[in-house]
Structure 1
């Protein structure tokens, strides 16, 4: 049973905690071509909203856009030499979140530009078996996957107007439970599935798609690379059969765990009604903050089967409160 999903539903942003905005903001704007579109200072933290601004989205409020990256800075951590963040890929810190992904017109040229700008890489195009993807590292050690969308591709050239914040990857324990949640509770559509039985993992790509004729699990890679705000669920075989297995959700500090990844976020025109409808249709949802009941009003947070947080907001949240 699914709460009604209308054409206003989008995946709006992905939140990552950062140590120093004076380092992270210039990294994403100066090296990855994003634009700082909103800044919201609160008593103990500040939120920075970044986006690839286009002629189609530049007149929209930040919360009505797709492909937004939210960087959360807790005041004072930049002065703590011992402050560290969990990038989600370290076994000792607790794996969970994997990476964000940026798609570009010409991946080779873009990688070369990043190397010229002294960006560190986890994997270059020439490394490993997959020669069509790379992984850069941001100042806090988060992985940024690079893929090519080929939009108006020109030799030895790259144009930031073609860049997209394409997807956010999280690891999931049981894909059946996760797919059921994202599709039937939140209303996402399954764009495609990639199976790698030899390597013992599968990938599921989901997003909002409001085309009534869209056939789920049918999108090819070329079309998918041109989109924004996809969520990639990674399933490593066998985790679903281990009762003690658990991924780190990015927010837990249990047993000294480090935080890092914060959440993804969906936005729609009437989130209050949507949350009410979910509550009426399901009696076992894991709300961390019910609609309008937290310290910050007009938002809600729901957890998926692995404990990852999904924020629910409106298209006009903080519309007149940006400090930029």
Structure 2
């Protein structure tokens, strides 16, 4: 059945991470990477606050746009009181138990200069810069222990300009690549942009984005893009019936969801209904009638919202 929605207009709008202390986390992304809080929403009754951060300099891809009309926004969710709770701890998705979410990637003009600056600021790194020609990468921790990958073409020069940085993608581990590839292409309408096969590591990487090519793009082009999601498949997990990744929303919590903003929220949800997706929350469920959540094959949550730059609905 045809619906008045066009997946080519969809955007991979944001990645949500829970944080313990928003003052510390917001400062980390602002001072180290040059991100900016472009929207803040308080929910007094439910006692939580959402901080939406993005690259917003004149050199940024989505400079000046409404937060729903962008790609690669970082949503930090703060449940009130966690900052003063000594027992509260985030699950970063990378421990021996409760694996699932992997990391977010920020592409930079110079990995060498960016890492030098971050180390000067006291940021903790996992090892040194690693060469993956044509890329160089390094991985650091944010204040809650989430992994942030710094990636650039070669090591780069001795200076760095945060105004050129991009929130490149979010990486998730998946159990069965056939099911996940089908979901992200056919249900969400994303394009498979690039595949990296690593038989020596017994793993493959799949990189998706909207407004892609009919053929895979060169890996260097991925650095210039925003709004990507990368899927990590470790060989053999699909054969283990008992194997399951942690979706970040069961206890212990951490990563919350990916979010897709769409051209027409009602029509998009009708399309998802026809595709017989697994719902976490339909538009008609609960008190919030402006968001829906569907589940991918690993039960990661995908939030669906209206792109307010294309059609007004909530006035966000």
- Please confirm whether the aligned pair reaches a TM-score higher than 0.5, indicating the same fold: yes
Q: 2:224 aligns with which of 192, 203, 226?
A: 226
Provide the residue aligned with 1:12 in structure 2.
13
Provide the residue aligned with 2:263 in structure 1.
269
Rounded to whole Å, the distance in 2 between the matches of 1:99 and 1:57 is: 22
Provide the residue aligned with 1:34 in structure 2.
35
Rounded to whole Å, the distance in 1 between the matches of 2:158 and 2:194 is: 31
Give the match's secondary structure for 1:122.
Answer: coil
Provide the residue aligned with 1:187 in structure 2.
189
Q: What RMSD over aligned residues (CA atoms) do the two structures have, in Å?
A: 2.3
Deviation at 1:122, TM superposition (A): 1.7
Residue-pair matches, total? 308
Give the match's secondary structure for 2:136.
Answer: coil
Deviation at 1:239, TM superposition (A): 0.2
Rounded to whole Å, the distance in 1 between the matches of 2:12 and 2:39 is: 17
Provide the residue aligned with 2:86 in structure 1.
81
Gaps of 5+ in 2: none
What does 1:152-301 align with in structure 2 at a 5 Å threshold? 155-209=157-211, 214-216=213-215, 218-253=216-251, 258-280=252-274, 282-283=275-276, 285-301=277-293
1:165/1:292 Cα in 2 relative to 1: closer, same or farther (>3 Å)? farther
Instruction: Deviation per CA, 1:248-275: give whole Å up to 9, x if none.
Output: 000012xxxx100000000122121111
- Does the Cα contact within 8 Å between 2:101 and 2:248 map onto a contact in 1? yes
Structure 2 residue 105 is the aligned partner of structure 1 residue 101:
yes
Rounded to whole Å, the distance in 1 between the matches of 2:124 and 2:85 is: 23
Rounded to whole Å, the distance in 2 between the matches of 1:131 and 1:310 is: 29
Deviation at 1:123, TM superposition (A): 3.0
- Does the Cα contact within 8 Å between 1:98 and 1:143 map onto a contact in 2? yes
Rounded to whole Å, the distance in 2 between the matches of 1:126 and 1:62 is: 34
Instruction: Deviation per CA, 1:255-313: give whole Å up to 9, x if none.
Output: xxx10000000012212111112212x23x21011124232221100000000000000
Give the match's secondary structure for 2:122.
Answer: coil
Gaps of 5+ in 1: none
Give the match's secondary structure for 1:123.
Answer: coil
What does 1:16-165 align with in structure 2 at a 5 Å threshold? 16-43=17-44, 44-55=47-58, 57-92=62-97, 94-125=98-129, 132-148=136-152, 155-165=157-167
- Does the Cα contact within 8 Å between 2:135 and 2:153 map onto a contact in 1? no
Rounded to whole Å, the distance in 1 between the matches of 2:20 and 2:54 is: 20
TM-score computed with the length of structure 1 as normaliser: 0.89
Rounded to whole Å, the distance in 2 between the matches of 1:306 and 1:273 is: 25
Instruction: Deviation per CA, 1:177-217: give whole Å up to 9, x if none.
Output: 0000000011000001000001100000011116xxx223x
Deviation at 1:6, TM superposition (A): 4.1
TM-score computed with the length of structure 2 as normaliser: 0.92
Deviation at 1:149, TM superposition (A): 5.0
